[in-house]
């Protein structure tokens, strides 16, 4: 049983193997498997108060103030009233508690939303609608098209032939292409017969819950027979059912045991580097406080021994004090109470208010609002703002984060002529935008209305019956594994296993070669209005080694032709020598396409002789039925027939990037931010996007590819890369190598190393698995961090988190992870800052994130504007706050030497209470909420301004010591100038002014004016609010002082307001104001002089940029650069094709086809369809 949300009792044993029975809840309950509810919240109604207070008192300062409160309740040592501590402490705890409660309430809300989704569960022979949270291991559930998969299921049966089920796994691995799963034949027979499904009592034994997305082993025992289970029969939570009317599944893992949740990582309590630094500084201040109190206590002991002992008639010792040493002991604690304001509790209240205010700026920023789906930016966590100004590494997902999940046929090269560009009358190329006129395809009744193309010359070539052009589009309409659906006449939609193929077949369709229907033996194409049926004789399937696919067809005229498409690097080796001149022209076009970041494929054909083909197909049949070496034999046959191909041309598909991605990446790179792309996609696709979004470019010295299949291979590849980038890094004299040798168990922090050029690194998932092992991880970090860009492809969600954790572990840098799918949740949770992109692959990433918005391009504004401002404001606030409190508190220390170390306060008690809460709180808040050294436009134009934040230059231990020394200096001035001015002084009427109350008033007035002038010097951006707060605070001080020191207040509250008449008597004297002016001059002039000389003689890079901006402001602003980033490319393949091996065999077998219709599914494909634009919740 759980009590108040906490479970007591014996600890659950680690699961070694899972055993369950279908439709037998009683049997399955004995194992106490997790049900399907998920929980990301931290508290419940009963545990909130104790747990939250426990968390808050882990902050050193809060525990210290509680200790101080206890001291103040002891009469013998209390020198200040208890309310001076208890009120601010309760306020701090309440503000933080309310914020935590709101955050946790939102987590409860999102958990409730997911857990309360409906699903149909088979109970007692009937399908009943249940909530997701009530689904248990062993239940059989029914899913329908476009449903999210509820839990990790064993597929039992489906509406499709042979119980195939199509799923989209974008939330798990980032891939948008469809995958196919197939049930066991023995369970496929169950169909949707509820009676048979209810009687199904199979027993499953399988592996314990784990995070391996691509692996599952188990057995099904049914009627005494055992059947092997693997990953091809599993539907995982996080997938979406596509193009399948219904399917039934048996729940194997539920809730936290599902592979998605196992990959999602733990929610960690994130704290900023400034938070961690403040904890260290607070400890330093405590030590300084203890030292001051010790000095004063020793002083008190000596004074009481030498003077006070003989002075007891006039000043008797307190009750219970019988020795000078005991008096000194008590004074130690009294001074702890008096001097505690060096760490005022209002510091933490102010920090929370500043963070909250800066979070609202993010929420309210209209330039980060995305009107297309009504999504504003959102600061989901309000405690990490200043960390946004210190980011050094960004870890980004690819699919849906950098790209839109939309593929468009953009350009092509046919018979040496390039198509796709638009030219004006003078022959100049025009940049295509939303105003460019599209080609009109209305003459083609079967055209896809959403298809857009701009070059009319290609349509003209088709309509003029140009033979190579016709052959090109005929190839695109025949060589693929797309399935068509035509429920209404002319309303044709494609279900494509990969979006690339969908885009190519749609292009052929619009240009008059419409792929209309398919059977296992035929392909029906409408060519320029004429229906032709081609016999499909063989599909030579795609795989990652071949990097090509071919079909062999017989035309209605009886001609045998092989059509092939694939990577240029592969197909060029297979071409007939007569194609050499065409190859050169096509290569030029391919280079241009690759330079623009387009995904390219080369297409070729070959006419076959009948006799040769008959012999080949016979050998093909023998190879495909061979029991041993089947793959090798088929591969040899494919190689044999795919020779002497005739080149037709090349296609160029655009994997549409989100708006502004290349520009954003370019700007962030100028800010010295390194970007790593972590994607589940293939290497070619990932690299292609790398080039198209300007991460990789042809000016780089080299892009290293690490794809070793053993630990030694990976180590050698990484070392070879490092040797090229920095040969000196292998010398014994290298700083890091020396550090490794010296290091014991202490954590190693690797400093930044400069490579001898600009490099990129691409590493595959299986190589990364080796590189993340203990002995290789240091090599990986050193090599990868020297590169400007790192791309990790084919990585699992957990590997994404491990890469982030690795950089956090070995580099003193702040990390940010950005993604949009459930597969990004673990890295979002692991990074210092997690950013979710909303509206692409669902909401899981957003729910786990600290900040969210709709477009990747908003990241530059989040970091360079909001992050930088937040960081600068927080640093200025802390510097000023520590300064003003050292100046305020240390006056007590100097006064101790003139007051017999008696713990007498310098200031009036009311001034001590109101100093931080009223007199100095609003001006510093005004600066911390509104200050900006430059506006947002200049922040974006000069990304170099971001660099000081990465290096933590504005607030660190050295800066703190400077603030401390400035505070000590000011306290000396603020004590000794008023002391000297008051010493033996007469008023103008001859009466004495040298009394304690006049001195106290003068000292506190000097202090307040000095700190007000100081904040004026620190403010870069003046607003009405700043002016009002500073002048208003001074006015309030004088109003309260004259009121509290008036005769009326003394008569009403005699004991509370003893300073009767002091204000009007003291502040009416000219020599007092002269002393105040002298104090201000001596405190402020050294600061002004130091800042001026530093800016002139030793300017920082930031000072230089600010000077440039100052000069630029005098000139008209430059127009925003609106250019499309185009490059000429050296020879580099732009090949990318997100296809899955096995679909060719599936089509030829006919197992995925219904007898009555070509392919009756409920899903659709269009390259611009809504399904591919917005997926998820």
Cα–Cα distance between 1092 and 964 in angstroms, integer? 20
What pLDDT score does 1165 carry?
A: 38
pTM, two decimals, is 0.80
Q: Of 100, 173, 365, 397, which residue is the catalytic one?
A: 397
C-beta separation of 155 from 140 below 8 A: no
| Nearest-10 crossing angle of helices 48-56, 83-115 | 120
- Taking the CA atoms of the chain, what radius of gyration do you get in angstroms? 37
Angle at 256 between CA 262 and CA 764, to 5 degrees: 15
Q: Mean pLDDT per segment of 10 residues, for the chain of length 1177 residues?
A: 37 77 91 87 85 80 78 71 69 80 82 89 91 93 92 93 83 70 90 91 92 86 89 90 91 91 72 84 88 92 77 67 79 84 75 88 93 88 89 88 84 92 82 82 86 90 91 94 78 80 92 89 91 92 83 93 91 91 91 83 93 91 81 88 93 87 92 91 82 83 90 91 85 65 65 86 90 86 91 87 92 91 84 84 73 93 95 94 92 89 82 84 91 88 91 91 94 91 70 74 92 92 92 92 71 60 71 88 92 86 79 66 45 61 65 49 37 36
Cα–Cα distance between 961 and 957 in angstroms, integer? 6
Angle at 228 between CA 224 and CA 233, to 5 degrees: 120
Cα–Cα distance between 461 and 465 in angstroms, integer? 7
What pLDDT score does 511 carry?
A: 93
C-beta separation of 877 from 927 below 8 A: yes
Residue 549: closest CA among 560, 538, 562, 540 = 540
What pLDDT score does 10 carry?
A: 41
- Separation of CA 262 from chain center: 19
Cα–Cα distance between 916 and 999 in angstroms, integer? 21
What pLDDT score does 1160 carry?
A: 36
C-beta separation of 418 from 709 below 8 A: no
Q: What are phi and psi of 783, to 5 degrees?
A: -70, -50
3-state helix, strand, coil in the chain (%, to 5): 50, 20, 35
Cα–Cα distance between 1126 and 698 in angstroms, integer? 11
Cα–Cα distance between 776 and 797 in angstroms, integer? 20
Q: How many other β-carbons are positioned within 10 Å of the β-carbon of residue 1131?
A: 11
Beta partners for residue 631, in sequence order: none
What pLDDT score does 963 carry?
A: 93
Residue 423's alpha-carbon distances to 438, 585, 1039, in angstroms, are 13, 20, 75
Q: For tokens 């990129």, name the residue.
A: 760
Token duo for residue 1147: 């089509």
Cα–Cα distance between 939 and 960 in angstroms, integer? 26
Q: For tokens 């004063």, name the residue.
A: 296
Cα–Cα distance between 196 and 194 in angstroms, integer? 6
Q: What is the 3-state secondary structure (H, E, C) of 997-1043?
A: HHHHHHHHHHHHHHHHHHHHHHCCCCCHHHHHHHHHHHHHHHHHHHH
What pLDDT score does 6 carry?
A: 38
Known catalytic membership, residue 397 = yes
Cα–Cα distance between 237 and 1166 in angstroms, integer? 26
Residue 379: closest CA among 812, 858, 941, 1067 = 858
Cα–Cα distance between 805 and 206 in angstroms, integer? 31
Beta partners for residue 423, in sequence order: 429
């Amino acid at each position: 049983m759980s009590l108040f949300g906490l479970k007591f009792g014996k600890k659950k044993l680690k699961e070694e193997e899972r055993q369950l029975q279908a439709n037998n809840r009683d049997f399955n309950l004995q194992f106490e498997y997790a049900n399907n509810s998920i929980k990301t919240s931290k508290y419940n109604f009963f545990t909130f108060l104790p747990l939250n207070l426990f968390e808050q008192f882990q902050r050193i300062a809060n525990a210290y103030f509680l200790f101080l409160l206890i001291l103040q309740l002891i009469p013998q040592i209390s020198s200040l009233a208890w309310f001076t501590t208890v009120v601010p402490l309760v306020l701090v705890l309440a503000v933080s508690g309310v914020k935590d409660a709101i955050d946790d309430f939102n987590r409860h809300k999102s958990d409730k939303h997911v857990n309360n989704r409906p699903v149909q569960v088979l109970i007692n022979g009937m399908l009943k609608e249940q909530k997701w949270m009530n689904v248990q291991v062993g239940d059989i559930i029914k899913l329908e098209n476009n449903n999210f998969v509820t839990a990790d299921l064993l597929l039992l049966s489906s509406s499709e032939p042979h119980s195939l089920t199509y799923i989209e796994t974008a939330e798990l691995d980032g891939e948008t292409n469809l995958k196919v799963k197939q049930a066991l034949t023995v369970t496929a027979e169950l169909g949707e017969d509820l009676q048979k499904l209810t009687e199904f009592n199979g027993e499953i034994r399988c592996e314990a819950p784990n995070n391996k997305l691509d692996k599952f082993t188990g057995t099904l025992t049914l009627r005494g027979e055992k059947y092997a289970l693997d990953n091809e029969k599993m539907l995982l939570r996080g997938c979406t059912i596509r193009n399948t009317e219904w399917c039934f599944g048996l729940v194997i893992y539920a809730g936290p045991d599902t592979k998605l949740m196992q990959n999602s990582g733990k929610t960690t309590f994130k704290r900023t580097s400034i938070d961690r630094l403040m904890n260290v500084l607070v400890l330093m201040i405590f030590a300084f406080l203890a030292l001051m109190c010790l000095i004063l206590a020793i002083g008190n002991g000596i004074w009481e021994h030498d003077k006070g002992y003989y002075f007891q008639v006039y000043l008797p010792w307190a009750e219970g004090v019988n020795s000078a040493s005991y008096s000194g002991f008590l004074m130690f604690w009294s001074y702890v109470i008096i001097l505690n304001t060096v760490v005022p509790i209002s510091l933490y209240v102010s920090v929370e208010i500043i963070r909250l205010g800066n979070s609202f700026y993010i929420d309210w920023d209209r330039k980060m609002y995305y009107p297309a789906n009504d999504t504003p930016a959102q600061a989901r966590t309000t405690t990490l703002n200043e960390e946004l100004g210190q980011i050094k590494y960004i870890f980004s997902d690819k699919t849906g984060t950098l790209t839109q999940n939309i593929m468009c046929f953009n350009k092509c090269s046919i018979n040496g002529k390039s198509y796709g560009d638009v030219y004006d009358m003078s022959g100049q190329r025009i940049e295509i935008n939303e105003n460019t006129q599209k080609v009109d395809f209305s003459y083609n009744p079967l055209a896809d209305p959403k298809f857009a193309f701009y070059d009319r010359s290609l349509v003209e070539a088709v309509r003029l019956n140009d033979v190579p052009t016709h052959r090109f589009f005929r190839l695109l309409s025949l060589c693929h594994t797309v399935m068509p659906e035509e429920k209404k006449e002319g309303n044709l939609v494609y279900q494509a296993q990969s979006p690339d193929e969908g885009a190519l077949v749609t292009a052929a369709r619009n240009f008059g070669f419409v792929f209309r229907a398919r059977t296992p033996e035929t392909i029906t194409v409408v060519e320029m209005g004429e229906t032709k049926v081609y016999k499909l004789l063989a599909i030579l399937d795609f795989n990652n080694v071949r990097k090509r696919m071919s079909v062999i067809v017989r035309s209605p005229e009886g001609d045998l032709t092989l059509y092939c498409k694939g990577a240029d690097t592969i197909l060029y080796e297979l071409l007939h020598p007569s194609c050499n001149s065409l190859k050169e022209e096509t290569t030029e076009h391919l280079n241009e396409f690759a330079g623009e970041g387009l995904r390219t494929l080369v297409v070729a054909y070959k006419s076959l002789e009948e006799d040769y083909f008959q012999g080949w197909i016979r050998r093909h049949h023998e190879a495909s039925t061979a029991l041993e070496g089947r793959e090798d034999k088929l591969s040899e046959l494919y190689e044999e027939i795919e020779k002497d191909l005739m080149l037709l041309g090349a296609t160029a598909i655009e994997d549409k990037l989100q708006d502004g991605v290349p520009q954003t990446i370019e700007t962030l790179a100028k800010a010295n931010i390194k970007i790593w792309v972590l994607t589940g996609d293939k290497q070619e696709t990932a690299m292609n996007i790398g080039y198209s979004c300007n991460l990789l470019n042809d000016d780089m010295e080299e892009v290293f590819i690490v794809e070793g299949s053993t630990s030694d291979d990976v180590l050698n590849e990484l070392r070879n890369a490092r040797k090229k980038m920095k040969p000196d890094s292998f010398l014994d004299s290298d700083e890091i190598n020396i550090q490794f040798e010296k290091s014991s168990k202490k954590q190693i922090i690797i400093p930044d190393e400069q490579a001898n050029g600009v490099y990129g690194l691409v590493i595959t998932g299986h190589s990364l698995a080796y590189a993340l092992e203990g002995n290789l991880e240091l090599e990986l970090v050193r090599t990868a961090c020297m590169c400007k860009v790192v791309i990790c492809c084919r990585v699992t969600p957990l590997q994404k988190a491990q890469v982030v954790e690795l950089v956090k572990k070995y580099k003193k840098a702040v990390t940010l992870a950005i993604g949009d799918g459930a597969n990004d949740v673990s890295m979002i949770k692991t990074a210092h800052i997690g950013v979710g992109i909303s509206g692409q692959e669902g909401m899981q990433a957003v729910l786990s994130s600290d900040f969210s918005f709709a477009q990747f391009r908003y990241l530059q504004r989040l970091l360079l504007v909001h992050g930088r401002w937040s960081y600068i404001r927080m640093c200025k606030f802390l510097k000023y706050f520590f300064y003003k409190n050292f100046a305020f508190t240390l006056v007590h220390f100097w006064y101790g030497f003139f007051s017999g170390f008696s713990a007498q306060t310098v200031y009036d008690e009311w001034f001590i209470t109101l100093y931080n809460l009223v007199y100095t709180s609003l001006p510093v808040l005004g600066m911390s909420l509104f200050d900006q050294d430059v506006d947002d436009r200049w922040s974006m134009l000069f990304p170099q301004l971001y660099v000081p934040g990465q290096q933590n230059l504005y607030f660190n231990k050295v800066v703190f010591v400077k603030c401390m020394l400035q505070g000590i200096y000011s306290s000396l001035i603020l004590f000794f100038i008023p002391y000297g001015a008051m010493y033996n002084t007469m008023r103008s009427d001859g009466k004495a002014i040298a009394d304690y109350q006049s001195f106290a008033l003068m000292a506190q007035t000097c202090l307040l004016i000095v700190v007000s002038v100081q904040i004026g010097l620190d403010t870069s951006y003046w607003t009405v609010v700043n002016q009002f707060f500073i002048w208003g605070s001074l006015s309030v001080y004088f109003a309260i002082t004259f009121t509290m020191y008036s005769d009326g207040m003394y008569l009403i509250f005699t004991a509370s307001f003893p300073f009767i008449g002091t204000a009007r008597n003291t502040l009416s004297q000219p020599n007092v104001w002269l002393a105040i002016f002298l104090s201000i001059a001596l405190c402020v002039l050294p600061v002004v002089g130091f800042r001026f000389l530093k800016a002139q003689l030793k300017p920082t890079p930031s000072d230089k940029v600010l000077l440039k901006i100052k000069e630029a402001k005098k000139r008209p602003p430059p127009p925003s650069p609106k250019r499309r980033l185009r490059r000429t490319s050296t020879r580099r393949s732009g090949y990318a094709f997100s296809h899955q091996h096995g679909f060719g065999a599936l089509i030829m077998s006919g197992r995925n086809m219904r007898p009555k219709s070509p392919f009756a599914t409920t899903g659709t494909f269009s390259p611009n369809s809504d399904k591919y634009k917005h997926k998820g919740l």
